[in-house]
Structure 1
Amino acid sequence: MSKQAIIGQEANGAANLASAFPRYEQTFPTLTAPEIARMRRFGEERNYKHGEALFETGKVGPGLFVVLSGHVAISERDGLGRVTPIIDQGPGQFLAEIGQLSERPALVDGHAEGDVTTLLLPPAKLRALMVAEADLGERIMRALILRRVNLIRGGAGGPVLIGPGTSAGVIRLQGFLSRNGYPHHLLCPHVDADAADVIARYSPLPEELPLVVVPDGTVLRNPRESELARAIGMVRAVAKDKVYDVAVVGSGPAGLSTAVYATSEGLSVAVCDTRAFGGQAGASARIENYLGFPTGISGHALMARAFNQAQKFGADIMIPVEVRSLDCSRADGVFGLTLENGDVVRARAIVIASGARYRRPQIERLAEYEGRGVWYWASPIEASLCTRQEVVLVGGGNSAGQAAVFLSGHASKVQMVIRGGGLGASMSRYLIERIEASSNIELIFNAEVIGLDGAKEASLECVRWRSRLSPEEMRFNARNLFLFVGADPATNWLEGCGVKVDRAGFVITGVSNGASSPASALETSVPGVFAVGDVRSGSVKRVGGAIGEGAQVVAALHGYLNDSARPSL
C-alpha cells in the first residue's frame, strides 16, 4: 500500500471516530509524557499479554489505566452475547469511565492487543489525583463524564430490556436506569429476532414482562428496581466495621450539596437514597432561575453534575437502598441507619435530606393507572408517549409550569388544570409568561380532576374533571395525566428516634435540644442529627435554597463533630 493510501486511510479513520464520538478530542485525549510522569506517584505499572483482559463487562473495574505501550481494544458485550467493537486505545491514552471513581462494575470489555504495559490508578488514587492535580484532573473528569454519556446514548454495557416500549414495566425500569445515568437498551420482540428468541425460550406471563438480560446472561422477570440494581452491581455491601463522619439520607439537591461540601473538607460521607439521585429536582424538565445558568439547565443534568462531583471527592453513594429506621440510642457512640436488607450504616452524625414524596390526590381509580398513563414527573421517556396527543396536567407550582412548557413541545395540546384562580401566588413570573405565550397550553382555573376511566388492566383513556364553581362533570379524552400537586415529607423512617416533626410531618430544626451550646439553625431535637432541604419545616422549597442549606450544614457538622471528639471533664 502506498504512503498516500495509508495517510488517507488514517484520515478516514479519524473522521469516522470524530463522527461516532462527539467532542472526540475531549472524550479520548492523549496525555503528554510530562502529564504521565505526574501521574506515576498515584499508580503502579501492570503488564498484560496479548488477549488478556484488563477489565470485563459486569465485573468491578480495578481503576483507571494509562496505556504506556501497546494497544487495548474496547468492545461492548451484552447479556445476549453480542460483541461490538467500540474503539482502540494506544500509548498516552487512558481507559476508564465515571464508574471507576467509585469501584463500580465495568460497562465494556478491554483486551490487550499484543503485549501491553499500563499505569494503573485504583479509584482512591484516581480521586486523589483529581484533587492534587487540578488541571489534569479536570481533563480526565471531563473525559470520564463524556464516555458515560456516549455509553448511555449507545446503550452499551448495561442491561437489555425486552418487551413493548409502552408497557408499564419497561417505562418503570427505563425511568429508574435513566435517572441514575445507567446505560441500557430496549429490544422489542415484535421487531428484533434475538428478543423474540428470548421471549420464546422463557415463555413469560404478561405480568413478567419485561424480561431483563444483565451482562452476565442472567434473565430477570419484570424485576423490582432493587433486584435489578443488585444484579448489575449498582449497590455494594455495607462495610460492617466502618464508621462514617456523616450519613446523609437523600440524594436530592440538599443531600448532594451536603456530600460535596463535606467530602471536599475531609469528612467521610455515606449517602443513601431509595430510588435515584436528584430527587424531585432531578425530574424537572428545565430550571431557568438557578444562579449561573442563564440559558437554563435540565434538573437531571444539574443533579448529575453534583452526583459526579460528590463521587470525585470520595462520597460513598448507595442507590437504591431504603432506610427503614434511625437508631439514636448511640449505645456504641454512633448513630445507626437500618436498611431494608438489615444492613446498618453507622455514622457519628446524621443529615436528614429525604425530601418529600409526590402527593397522590383523591382521584377515583388513580392507583389503577399509575405507570399506565398516570405520571408524577415528565422526562423524555414520558414525553415520547405523548407525541401529537392531548395530555392533562394538574398543578400550579413551578414544577407543574416547567413540565407544561416541556410537554408542549411534544403534545398537540396540554390541558393545565389548576385548583386555584390564578398562578401568580405559586409560580415564577418567567414560567407564567412562557405558558401564556404558548399556543397549545390551555389554562383551566378553579377546577379539579375527580376520576379516571379506561378498560380494566389497560391504559388510561379518559380523565374526568369538574369546575369547583359548578357540579357538572366533564371529560378529556386523554391517555396521559401528569400530577404535580405538591408533596408530603418522607419522614416515616424517623418514627421512634426522638426527632420532632411538625403537624404536616416536616422536621423541626433550631430548637433547644438540651445541649450545653445553642442549637444550630439546622439541628433537630436530637443532638448530632440535622435536617436540610424540602424535608425541613420552614425551608423555602427551592433548588437554590436546598443547595444552600446543604453547604450551610457542613459548618454545623464540623462544630458538632469537634465537640463530640473532646474528652469530657
Structure 2
Amino acid sequence: MPTRLSSDLPVQETPDENGAFPRLDDDQIDQFARYGTRRPVPEDEVLYAAGDRNHDFFVIVSGVVQVLEHGEVVRTHGPGRFLGELGLLEGQPSFVTAVVAEPGEVVQLSADQLNELVRNDPVLGDLVLRAYLVRRAVLIGRGGGLQIVGSCFSPDTKRLLEFAARNRIPHRLVDTDQDAHAEDLLRRVGVTVHETPVVLVPGDGTLRNPSNRKLAQVLGLHASPPPGDLADLLVVGAGPGGLAAVVYGAADGLGVVAVDSIAAGGQAGTTSRIENYLGFPAGISGPDLAERAVLQTEKFGVPVTVSAEAVSFSAHDGHYVVGFDDSTEVRTRSLVIATGVRYRRLDLPRLADFESTDVYYAATIHEARECRANPVAIVGGGNSAGQAAVFLADRVPRVHLVVRGGDLNKDMSRYLVDRVTSHPRIEVLLHHEVVELLGDDKLEGVVVRNNRDHDRRILPVRALFVFIGARPCTAWLSSLIALDDDGFVLTGEHVATDDTWWHKGRRPFPLETNRPGVFAIGDVRSGSVKRVGSAVGEGAMVVRLVHDHLSFGATR
C-alpha cells in the first residue's frame, strides 16, 4: 500500500492542447454509467496499482484520487475527471498507482466496456482518446514508466532505449556512469553493475538485459498468432501503408494479422515532424501519427505484433505461408508486403565502434535527449535529413548538415530548404562528405572533406545522424517474388508477362506482384512515391484489390 499523502492538496490537471483536460458534466458521466457501474469508494482504496494489466477505467463522480509514481504524487484528480492513459487501451501494464485520497463515488468500466464505448460513442470516445494521447506524451516527457539501468556506453542499453522509444513506451535511463542513485537502485533489486543493463518494469520486476522480443512480450506488444488459423489478409510491416491496410481491411470484416519486426510506424515513426501530410496544418510527429493509427487498428480488433521479423515466404495448397524468426508461421489467403526500407550505413572506418552509442538513424525527442545539448552532424540531403536538422536545431547549440551534392533543392522539399537555410543554428555544408570519426569510447568529432577542392575540416560534434537513402527489406521473399535490380518489389504492369499469370485468366491488379494475391505497398514497392500520404493511399487501395482477388478466386 503506498503512503497516502495529505488529501488537501490542490487538484492539479495536466494541460492538453486546449489548455486543460475536459471536466465531464453530469450528462457525460451518465453516458459513461450506461456502459459501467456506479459505486462508492472508501478512503485509501487502490483503484489500480503500477503493473496491473487491463485494469478498470474510472470516472470520478465525487471525492479525490491521487496518482502516484514510485510512491510520489504526480497528479490529483477531482470530480468530473477520468483516470488512466493509453496503456489501458493497448493492454500494457499500468505505470502508475491510483489511490482514493477522499472518499466518494466513481463510475467503473472494464477495459472491454471502455473499448465498446470508444467504438460506439464517437464524442466520448474521442474525448478519452485525445486525453490518453496527451497523457502518454506527458508520461514520456517526464521520463516515467520503465527504468532502464545501464551505461550510456553500452550497445545493449542503447538497443533497449531505442526499442522503448520506437514503440512509444514511457521510460527513462538511469545511467550507471553518471547517475548518483544508480548504485543504490541496483543494490535494492539485487543486481551488480556487471549484470546491466536491466529493465525495471512495474509489476514484472527486473529483466536482466532482455531481448527486444522478451521486453515486447512483457509489455504486451508481442502476441503470436494462433497456429493453424488461415488469415484472409496478412500485413507484414506496420508503417503508414501497412497500418492503413490493417485498418481498412479490418473495417471491411477481413480476418487480418499484422506483424512488424521493430515497431509500428515504420520510417515515418522515426520522423520528428511531418509537415506536408494532409489534414495536419501544424504538422504531426511520426510517433504521434503511428500511435493514432495503432489505436485505430486496436479499435477494429487487430493488435500489431512487434519484434517478429519475417524470414521466409512460400506457397502451399493455394495459400501463402510466412515464417517468422520466433518460429511461428502464418497461413494466409492474401499478403501485403509493407516492410519498407532501412537507412543505409556510411562506409566509414570505425563506424561500428560508435554505431551502438553515438550514431543515429532517427531523430525524435528521445535521440535529442541523448545528445545532451551537444553539437551534432547530420549526413543527407533529403527530407528526412532536413526534418531532422530543423528539429534538432531547436534543441542543440549547433547542427552541421553535410550534403554530398551541391543543391539542397534536388531532393528536399522547398519549404524545408527555406527553413534549413534560414535557421541560425544550422550550417549547411554542400559538396562535403564525412570521411573519418574521431574519439575513443565516445564520438568527439567528425572529419569532413570538400569533394571539389579536397579541403578537410574537423567538426566538434558528439552525435552523428545518418539519412543517406535506404535499401528495401525484401531478403525474406526468396526467389518467389520478382524484384527490380535494386531489390524493390515489382508490381502491376511490370509483372504482367510473368509465367505465373498465363493460367490465371486475368492480368495482375495494380500493386499486385507476380504472385496472385500478394501485393506490395509503400517504400518497398518499385517506383513508389516516397511520401506518407501515398503510402496511406496505397494501404487503402490494396484492400479493395484484396477483395477483388478473393472474389475472383471464389468464382474459379
| Counterpart position of 2:227 | 240
3-state SS of paired residue (2:280) = coil
Pairing partner for 1:263 from 250, 271, 279: 250
How many residues of Structure 1 are paired with residues of Structure 2 in the alignment?
A: 540
- Paired residues of 1:252 and 1:353 also in contact (CA < 8 A): yes
Pairing partner for 1:174 from 161, 170, 193: 161
Q: Could you tell me how far apart the structure 2 residues matched to 1:31 and 1:561 are?
A: 48
- Paired residues of 2:238 and 2:263 also in contact (CA < 8 A): yes
Residue 407 of structure 2 is aligned to residue 422 of structure 1: yes
Pairing partner for 1:60 from 21, 34, 53: 53
Residue 183 of structure 2 is aligned to residue 196 of structure 1: yes
- Paired residues of 2:432 and 2:451 also in contact (CA < 8 A): yes
Q: Could you tell me how far apart the structure 2 residues matched to 1:261 and 1:232 are?
A: 26
Letter paired with 1:282: G
Residue 88 of structure 2 is aligned to residue 100 of structure 1: yes
* Structure 1 residues 491 and 387: alpha-carbon distance in aligned structure 2, compared to 1, 3 A threshold: same
| Counterpart position of 1:5 | none
| Counterpart position of 2:444 | 461
Pairing partner for 2:357 from 372, 396, 400: 372
Residue 174 of structure 2 is aligned to residue 187 of structure 1: yes
Q: Could you tell me how far apart the structure 2 residues matched to 1:65 and 1:419 are?
A: 56
* Structure 1 residues 317 and 48: alpha-carbon distance in aligned structure 2, compared to 1, 3 A threshold: farther
- Paired residues of 2:41 and 2:106 also in contact (CA < 8 A): yes
Q: Could you tell me how far apart the structure 2 residues matched to 1:327 and 1:165 are?
A: 42
Report the TM-score when normalising by structure 1: 0.84
- Paired residues of 1:98 and 1:148 also in contact (CA < 8 A): yes
| Counterpart position of 1:130 | 118
* Structure 1 residues 413 and 73: alpha-carbon distance in aligned structure 2, compared to 1, 3 A threshold: closer
| Counterpart position of 1:355 | 340
| Counterpart position of 1:6 | none
3-state SS of paired residue (2:410) = coil
Residue 255 of structure 2 is aligned to residue 272 of structure 1: no
3-state SS of paired residue (1:400) = helix
| Counterpart position of 2:10 | 13
- Paired residues of 2:92 and 2:219 also in contact (CA < 8 A): no
Letter paired with 1:133: D
| Counterpart position of 1:556 | 545
- Paired residues of 2:382 and 2:412 also in contact (CA < 8 A): yes
Q: Could you tell me how far apart the structure 1 residues matched to 2:402 and 2:380 are?
A: 6
Q: Residues 81-480 of structure 1: matches in 2 within 5 Å? A: 82-85=70-73, 94-110=82-98, 119-123=108-112, 125-156=113-144, 158-164=145-151, 168-189=155-176, 195-200=182-187, 201-205=190-194, 208-216=195-203, 218-329=205-316, 331=317, 334-386=319-371, 389-455=374-440, 458-470=441-453, 473-480=456-463
3-state SS of paired residue (2:376) = strand
* Structure 1 residues 392 and 86: alpha-carbon distance in aligned structure 2, compared to 1, 3 A threshold: closer
- Paired residues of 1:63 and 1:101 also in contact (CA < 8 A): no
3-state SS of paired residue (1:377) = coil
Q: Could you tell me how far apart the structure 2 residues matched to 1:299 and 1:202 are?
A: 36
Q: Could you tell me how far apart the structure 2 residues matched to 1:445 and 1:23 are?
A: 39
3-state SS of paired residue (1:557) = helix
* Structure 1 residues 468 and 194: alpha-carbon distance in aligned structure 2, compared to 1, 3 A threshold: closer
Deviations 1:373-419 (A, max 9, x none): 21112222332344554432211111111112222223333332222
3-state SS of paired residue (1:13) = coil
3-state SS of paired residue (1:461) = strand
* Structure 1 residues 241 and 413: alpha-carbon distance in aligned structure 2, compared to 1, 3 A threshold: same
3-state SS of paired residue (2:226) = coil
Q: Could you tell me how far apart the structure 1 residues matched to 2:476 and 2:64 are?
A: 48
3-state SS of paired residue (2:279) = coil
Letter paired with 1:263: A
- Paired residues of 2:176 and 2:193 also in contact (CA < 8 A): no
- Deviation at residue 43 of structure 1 after TM alignment: 5.5
3-state SS of paired residue (2:547) = helix
Letter paired with 1:412: P
- Paired residues of 1:394 and 1:418 also in contact (CA < 8 A): yes
3-state SS of paired residue (2:345) = coil
| Counterpart position of 2:3 | none
Letter paired with 1:480: A
Q: Could you tell me how far apart the structure 2 residues matched to 1:320 and 1:232 are?
A: 12
Letter paired with 1:302: L
- Deviation at residue 196 of structure 1 after TM alignment: 1.5
- Deviation at residue 238 of structure 1 after TM alignment: 2.6
* Structure 1 residues 190 and 366: alpha-carbon distance in aligned structure 2, compared to 1, 3 A threshold: closer
* Structure 1 residues 118 and 471: alpha-carbon distance in aligned structure 2, compared to 1, 3 A threshold: closer
| Counterpart position of 2:526 | 537
Letter paired with 2:467: F
Q: Could you tell me how far apart the structure 2 residues matched to 1:411 and 1:108 are?
A: 32
- Deviation at residue 184 of structure 1 after TM alignment: 1.8
- Deviation at residue 88 of structure 1 after TM alignment: 6.5
Q: Could you tell me how far apart the structure 1 residues matched to 2:475 and 2:38 are?
A: 50
3-state SS of paired residue (1:393) = strand
% identity of equivalent residues: 38
* Structure 1 residues 32 and 267: alpha-carbon distance in aligned structure 2, compared to 1, 3 A threshold: farther
- Deviation at residue 254 of structure 1 after TM alignment: 1.0
Q: Could you tell me how far apart the structure 2 residues matched to 1:516 and 1:129 are?
A: 46
* Structure 1 residues 445 and 493: alpha-carbon distance in aligned structure 2, compared to 1, 3 A threshold: same
| Counterpart position of 1:505 | 487
The unaligned stretches of length 5 or more in structure 1 are 1-8
* Structure 1 residues 493 and 465: alpha-carbon distance in aligned structure 2, compared to 1, 3 A threshold: same
Q: Could you tell me how far apart the structure 2 residues matched to 1:162 and 1:464 are?
A: 33
Which has the higher mean CA deviation after the structures are superposed, 366-375 or 297-306?
Answer: 297-306
- Deviation at residue 537 of structure 1 after TM alignment: 0.4
3-state SS of paired residue (1:392) = strand
Which has the higher mean CA deviation after the structures are superposed, 55-64 or 370-379?
Answer: 55-64
Q: Could you tell me how far apart the structure 2 residues matched to 1:516 and 1:63 are?
A: 54
Report the TM-score when normalising by structure 2: 0.86
Letter paired with 2:398: K
Deviations 1:465-510 (A, max 9, x none): 32333455543333222111000001111114x1111111101111
- Deviation at residue 121 of structure 1 after TM alignment: 3.9
